[in-house]
């Protein structure tokens, strides 16, 4: 490309319009939700990016439904989601990883046919260290016929998602989403306040060279998981090198790297937490949708995550997600076949 040749840019708003055109029956309601996701991401990014400069760091003294101390940014991000989505008329109910019960749409606002589940600021324990954190969202069509949405609309099977994605607040802020026709990544250009398409139809490598888990739990892993990790630490027959270990401790950042570079991210069951730590509805399902749409796999070690019918809002599930060959290898160890 010649110097200074004008590059063509695709904003996320234009992309959402173009994606909607692929669905003749679309009414534009889902598009409005996705516009509001992009706006919410910018508003949270503004606070996250200046977190070190204003007294917004530190704890609120509150404890959330997970029993975790709530950081002020956590609270801000959760409130930002509620204020962004409660009045647009596209939702019949919301649910947040930070709140015990569902979040009703105020009676003064119109109800819609969609349901939004979100984790407002995942990895928030990393905020003070300026490590990448993220927001995760998941959208379903309502299950109940009419009226205010209920917990029945929120406790679902991941395969029913109509859209999902995440925002990564890192060295740059990125918004990644899918509506079931591929995975698209947009990078925020702060000079114009626009998310611009930077990665078109992401496809994961079928096999990677990186594994990602908290090695501190090594003594609590199942025999299968431990032997899987030990296998990856042996020099590969073809390359003569073992896998590299990378773990940020912020799911959005670890999954985003896995999406682009390949390999496997795992938060398995341990003797300390038999269902693992990650939440099925707020973390595992949306990330599984993204990973599968990018040609990867997402299982709980034995079955596809998106086939699991949730039984409660905050249930946890073991997570093995990433390149197809790496996840299948992990499953063979979990099944005792190796
Ligand atoms: P651990 C962050 O708190 C989180 O929910 C995910 O973002 C992350 O993958 C995981 O927990 C990290 O957990 O036990 O390794 O600190």
pLDDT of 94 higher than 90: yes
Is 205 domain-assigned? no
Reported residue count of the chain is 338
Q: Which tens digits make up the pLDDT trace of 238-271?
A: 889 999 999 999 999 999 999 999 999 999 999 9
Atom of ligand 1 nearest to the CA of 213: 15
pLDDT digits (tens, 9 = 90+) for 123-142: 988 887 889 999 999 999 99
Ligand 1 centroid from CA 25, angstroms: 39
Inter-residue contact 194 to 188 (CB < 8 Å):
yes
Confidence of residue 49 (pLDDT cuts 50, 70, 90): confident
pLDDT at 58 (0 to 100): 61
| Whole-structure pTM value | 0.94
The confidence band for 1, taking pLDDT boundaries of 50, 70 and 90, is: low
Indicate which CATH number applies to the domain containing 186.
3.30.540.10
- Name which of 315, 314, 319, 267 is nearest 96 in CA terms: 314
- Would you put residue 245 in left (φ > 0), alpha (ψ -120 to 50) or beta? beta
CB 41 within 8 Å of CB 135: yes
Residues 195 and 221 in one domain: no
Q: What is the whole-number distance in angstroms between the Cα of residue 237 and the centre of ligand 1? A: 32
In a domain, 68, yes or no: yes
User: Residue 53 pLDDT more than 70?
Assistant: no
Do residues 114 and 30 touch, judged by C-beta distance below 8 A? yes
Compute, in angstroms, the gap from residue 239 CA to the centroid of ligand 1.
31
**Boundary (domain end) residue, out of 146, 175, 199:** 199
Distance 131 CA to ligand 1 centre (A): 12
Tell me which residue has its CA closest to atom 10 in ligand 1. Answer: 249
User: CA nearest 97: which of 116, 119, 115?
Assistant: 119
pLDDT band at 64 (very low <50, low <70, confident <90, very high): confident
- Are residues 253 and 117 located together in one domain of the fold? no
Residue 73 has pLDDT above 60, yes or no: yes
Do 102 and 118 form a contact (C-beta atoms < 8 A)? Answer: no
CA of 265 to the centre of ligand 1 (A): 12
CATH code, domain carrying 245: 3.40.190.80
Q: What is the DSSP letter of 280?
A: I
Backbone angles phi, psi at 95, to 5 degrees: -150, 135
Q: What percent of the chain has pLDDT over 70?
A: 95
Which of 68, 267, 282, 287 has most ligand 1 atoms within 8 Å of CB, for mutation? Answer: 267
Residue 134 CA: which ligand 1 atom is closest?
7
Q: Is residue 17 located within the same domain as residue 113?
A: yes
Of 170, 199, 228, which residue constitutes the final position of a domain?
199
Q: Which of 199, 231, 248 delimits the end of a domain?
A: 199
Pocket of ligand 1 (CB under 6 A): 122-123, 125, 214, 249-251, 254, 267, 277
How many distinct structural domains can be found in the chain? 2
For residue 247, give the ligand 1 atom closest to its CA.
15
* Average model confidence (pLDDT) across the chain: 94
**Nearest residue (CA) to ligand 1, atom 13:** 249
pLDDT in tens, 163-191: 999 999 999 999 999 999 999 999 999 99
Q: Which atom of ligand 1 is nearest to the CA of 267?
A: 9
Same domain? 176 vs 88: yes
**Which atom of ligand 1 is nearest the CA belonging to 278?**
5
**Do 194 and 322 share a domain, yes or no?**
no
Range of the domain at 191: 3-199
């Amino acid at each position: 490309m010649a110097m200074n040749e004008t590059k063509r840019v695709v904003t996320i708003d234009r992309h959402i319009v173009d994606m909607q055109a692929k669905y003749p029956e679309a009414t534009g309601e889902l598009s409005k939700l996705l516009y509001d996701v992009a706006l919410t991401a910018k508003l949270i990014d503004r606070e996250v990016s200046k977190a070190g400069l204003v007294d917004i760091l530190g704890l609120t003294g509150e404890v959330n439904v997970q029993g975790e101390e709530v950081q002020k940014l956590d609270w801000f991000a959760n409130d930002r989601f509620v204020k962004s989505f409660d009045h647009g008329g596209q939702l019949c109910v919301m649910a947040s990883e930070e709140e015990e019960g569902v979040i009703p749409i105020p009676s003064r606002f119109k109800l819609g046919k969609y349901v939004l589940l979100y984790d407002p600021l995942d990895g928030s324990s990393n905020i003070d260290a300026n490590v990448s954190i993220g927001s995760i969202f998941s959208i379903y069509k309502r299950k109940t016929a009419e009226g205010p949405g209920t917990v029945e609309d929120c406790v679902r099977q991941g395969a029913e998602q109509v859209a999902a994605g995440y925002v990564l607040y890192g060295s740059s802020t990125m918004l990644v989403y899918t509506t079931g026709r591929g995975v698209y990544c947009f990078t925020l250009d702060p000079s114009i306040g626009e998310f611009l398409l930077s990665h078109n139809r992401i496809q994961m490598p079928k096999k990677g060279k990186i594994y990602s888990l908290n090695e501190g739990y090594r003594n609590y892993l199942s025999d299968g998981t431990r032997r899987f990790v030990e296998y990856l630490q042996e020099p590969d027959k073809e390359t003569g090198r073992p896998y590299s270990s990378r773990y940020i401790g912020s799911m959005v950042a670890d999954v985003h790297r896995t999406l682009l570079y390949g390999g496997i991210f795992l938060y398995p069951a341990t003797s300390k937490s038999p269902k693992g730590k990650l939440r099925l509805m707020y973390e595992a399902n949306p990330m599984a949708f993204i990973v599968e749409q990018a040609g990867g796999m997402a299982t709980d070690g034995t079955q596809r995550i998106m086939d699991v019918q949730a039984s409660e809002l905050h249930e946890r599930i073991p997570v093995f997600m990433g390149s197809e060959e790496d996840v299948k290898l992990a499953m063979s160890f979990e099944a005792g076949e190796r």
